């Protein structure tokens, strides 16, 4: 039985999964295997057409693999009935898919209604979710999707997917259609939510920067759904498996140093919101300015972080290393820059 409490994640295993839509075309997904730990936030990054969406749809059983096995919390996904999966797997897509003729409250209530929840329980949950995605007040519940901005609609999409508190979230370029500022806000909000939710998340993106900020681990895929590297953001940054992965990261010391800091910022800010520790947005802004200066002067990442430590006494290299899941002092200059 899939656990339905938000604190206990469930694991997902894909074993030699293939999918052919058409016998005369190459397989959309070819012999794909991956092990996702309970509560892990996994990013799938790869070129268009490499099979990311197909993989998500197979985990969700919207489509079935041609061969191979998908195990969710120890059970073959094909043995689980679709309504059970809808309840236990939240699905967010780029096109949002809100029903235009339904209010925001009705859109969020779709799964609770399918599950036969009482009116009161559903109304309470809608209120709770709107607050969670910062759409409380402003009569959002009674509005129709077209009366919301793209970013607000995307938040409703996230709220709707969270309605039955599923232990697994599949997110297929959920913020892809939003402008960079809204996207960054949604990313930070979602990271903050995940701090308390501990859900098992598979998140597809084209944006490597987004992958670095959000993921516990990133799977870099090549055409033909082959995993080129599957590792933590810090390890991928400091030790890309090959030229192909490097090309995703971008060239140059400054970019990589700043990417490291962006990852640290994304990881530390949610924690600071929860604990009111000193890592305020302003603190990070100061940090970023100081880093920009050192990077512009051609500084090495460790020098950048030393400068950061000097400027912002509250954030030490240890803490940033913790956030990154790697000791930044151990990144060799050749690898790190
Ligand atoms: P993108 O990043 O562009 O969204 P993707 O990595 O998610 O791409 P998929 O959408 O999974 O890739 O598609 C993988 C391959 O399968 C592509 O070659 C695509 O044309 C093909 N494909 C996807 N859906 C179907 C379908 N319903 N029928 C036939 N072929 C399909």
DSSP per residue, 40-53:
-EEEEE--TTSSHH
Interval 127-166: pLDDT, tens: 988 988 888 876 899 999 999 888 888 889 888 988 888 8
Q: Are residues 195 and 318 in the same domain?
A: no
Q: Are residues 257 and 224 in the same domain?
A: no
> What pLDDT does residue 211 have?
87
Q: Are residues 34 and 168 in the same domain?
A: yes
* Domain's final residue, options 170, 197, 231: 231
> What pLDDT does residue 336 have?
37
243 inside domain: no
Atom of ligand 1 minimally distant from the CA of 47: 2
Q: What is the mean pLDDT of each run of 10 residues along the chain (337 residues)?
A: 49 94 86 94 90 93 93 91 82 80 92 89 92 83 90 87 90 81 78 82 88 89 87 83 80 53 64 54 59 58 57 59 61 40
Q: Are residues 46 and 86 in the same domain?
A: yes
> What pLDDT does residue 325 have?
63
Q: Are residues 19 and 112 in the same domain?
A: yes
Q: State how far the Cα of 34 lies from the Cα of 52, in Å rounded to an integer.
A: 13
Q: Are residues 108 and 68 in the same domain?
A: yes
- Burial group, residue 1, by CB count within 10 angstroms (0-12, 13-18, 19+): exposed
> What pLDDT does residue 218 have?
93
Reported ipTM: the value is: 0.97
- Burial group, residue 171, by CB count within 10 angstroms (0-12, 13-18, 19+): buried
Q: Are residues 169 and 288 in the same domain?
A: no
* Domain's final residue, options 198, 231, 264: 231
CATH number at residue 99: 3.40.50.300
Q: Are residues 303 and 224 in the same domain?
A: no
245 inside domain: no
148 inside domain: yes
> What pLDDT does residue 47 have?
84
Q: Which two tokens stand for residue 39?
A: 């509560």
Task: Calculate ∠ Cα 8-12-14, nearest 5°.
Answer: 175
Residues with CB under 6 A from ligand 1: 21-22, 28, 46, 48-54
> Residue 65 belongs to what domain range?
12-231
Q: Are residues 154 and 196 in the same domain?
A: yes
> What pLDDT does residue 242 have?
87
Q: Ligand 1: distance of its center to the CA of 52 in Å?
A: 8
Q: Ligand 1: distance of its center to the CA of 111 in Å?
A: 27
Torsion sign (Cα): 180, 185, 191, 194? negative
Mutation choice for ligand 1 from 17, 26, 32, 52, CB with most ligand atoms inside 8 A:
52
Q: Ligand 1: distance of its center to the CA of 253 in Å?
A: 35
Global pTM value: 0.76
247 inside domain: no
Residue closest via CA to ligand 1's atom 28 equals 21
Atom of ligand 1 minimally distant from the CA of 225: 6
> What pLDDT does residue 2 have?
39
Is residue 83 within 8 Å of 114, Cβ to Cβ? yes
Residue closest via CA to ligand 1's atom 21 equals 28
Total domain count, the chain: 2
Mutation choice for ligand 1 from 22, 45, 53, CB with most ligand atoms inside 8 A:
53
């Amino acid at each position: 039985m899939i656990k339905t409490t938000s604190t206990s994640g469930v694991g997902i295993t894909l074993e030699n999964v293939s999918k052919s839509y058409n016998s005369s075309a190459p397989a959309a997904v070819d012999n794909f295997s991956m092990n996702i730990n309970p509560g892990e936030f996994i990013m799938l990054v790869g070129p268009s057409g490499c099979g990311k969406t197909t993989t998500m749809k197979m985990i969700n059983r919207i489509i079935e693999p041609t061969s191979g096995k998908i195990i969710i919390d120890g059970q073959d996904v094909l043995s689980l009935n679709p309504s059970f999966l809808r309840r236990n797997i939240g699905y967010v897509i780029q096109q949002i898919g809100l029903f235009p003729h339904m209010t925001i409250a009705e859109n969020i209530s779709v799964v609770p209604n399918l599950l036969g929840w009482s009116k009161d329980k559903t109304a309470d949950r809608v209120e709770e979710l709107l607050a969670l995605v910062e759409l409380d007040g402003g009569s959002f519940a009674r509005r129709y999707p077209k009366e919301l901005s793209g970013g607000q609609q995307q938040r409703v999409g996230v709220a709707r997917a969270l309605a039955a508190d599923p232990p697994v979230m599949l997110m297929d370029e959920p913020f892809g259609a939003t402008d960079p500022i809204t996207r960054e806000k949604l990313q930070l909000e979602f990271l903050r939510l995940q701090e308390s939710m501990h859900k098992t998340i598979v998140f597809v993106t084209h944006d490597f920067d987004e992958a670095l900020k959000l993921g516990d681990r990133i799977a870099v895929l090549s055409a033909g759904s082959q995993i080129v590297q599957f590792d933590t953001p810090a390890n991928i940054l400091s030790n890309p498996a090959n030229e192909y992965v490097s090309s995703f990261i971008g060239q140059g010391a400054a970019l990589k140093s700043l990417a490291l800091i962006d990852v640290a910022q994304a990881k530390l800010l949610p924690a600071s919101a929860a604990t009111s520790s000193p890592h305020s947005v302003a603190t990070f802004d100061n940090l970023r300015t100081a880093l920009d200066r050192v990077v512009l002067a051609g500084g090495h990442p460790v020098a950048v972080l030393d400068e950061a430590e000097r400027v912002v006494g509250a954030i030490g290299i240890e803490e940033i290393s913790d956030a990154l899941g790697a000791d930044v002092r151990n990144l060799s200059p050749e690898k790190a820059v």
